[in-house]
Structures are given as C-alpha cells and as structure tokens.
Amino acid sequence: MTQEQPPHPATALDDVVHQRVRLGILTVLSETHECRFATLRDELGLTDGNLNRHLRILEQAGLLQVTKGYEGRRPCTWLRLTRQGRVALRAEVAALEQLVSRIRTATDRPDPQA
C-alpha cells in the first residue's frame, strides 16, 4: 500500500490573492476598518488605473467592498475588506508560512554536494 503525499503548500496559494499588488491591497485593508482609494493608492505607489484594475478583480471575487460617496463636495471611494477577504488573506498567509517552513527546513540540512 502506497501512502499518498499531501499536496505541496504552493498549491494552496490563491492566484487572485497572491498577485503582488492584490496581496498588498488586502494587507493594507486588513490593518484598518476602512480606507480611502487615494490613501491606498499612495501607500502602495500605484496609479489610479492600476489600482482600479486590481480592485475590480478583488471586488468580483467578493474579497472587498467598494463604497462611493462624497466628502463634502468631493467624490470619494472607500474600500473595506469583506469577511471572505479576511478568510482568503489568512489562508494565503498560512500557505506562505508553510512554504517558508519548508524552505528553512531544506536550507538547514547539510548540502550533500559540499
């Protein structure tokens, strides 16, 4: 009887979440209750168009909520992580922690070629 190997932790990475900009967006939003579009754009050093593109993907996946309104007479967009977004971010972090653990274990072993 052959024992089946568990899947490699890399298979648990979510393509929607794992992309660098989107992971940054989710991380910033996890640190606050709500964030203005302009604040997030400036924090991550993105253009309006680039940030908008990634926000649409995350919103379509149900990971964040976008609310449009006004601050005084100026239009403003607020962003908030959804419950599903928090769960997805935690799962991504857990998968990354498993990968880091495997890398540390592998690099702690002596190199047989040395």
CATH value at residue 65: 1.10.10.10
Residue span of the structural domain in which 26 resides: 13-101
Q: What is the pLDDT of residues 45-67, one digit of tens each?
A: 999 999 999 999 999 999 999 99
Instruction: Classify residue 109: in a domain, yes or no.
Output: no
* Contacting residues for 40 by C-beta, under 8 A, at least 6 apart: 25, 28, 29, 46, 51, 79
Instruction: Classify residue 8: in a domain, yes or no.
Output: no
Q: Which of 51, 63, 49, 64 is nearest to 20 (CA)?
A: 51
Distances (CA, A) of 54 to 51, 73, 77: 5, 27, 15
Number of domains the chain is built from: 1
pLDDT bin (cut points 50, 70, 90) of residue 114 is low
The pLDDT of residue 6 is 80
Element of type H or E holding 35: strand 35-36
The C-alpha angle with vertex 58 and arms to 76 and 16, in degrees rounded to 5, equals 155
Instruction: Classify residue 111: in a domain, yes or no.
Output: no
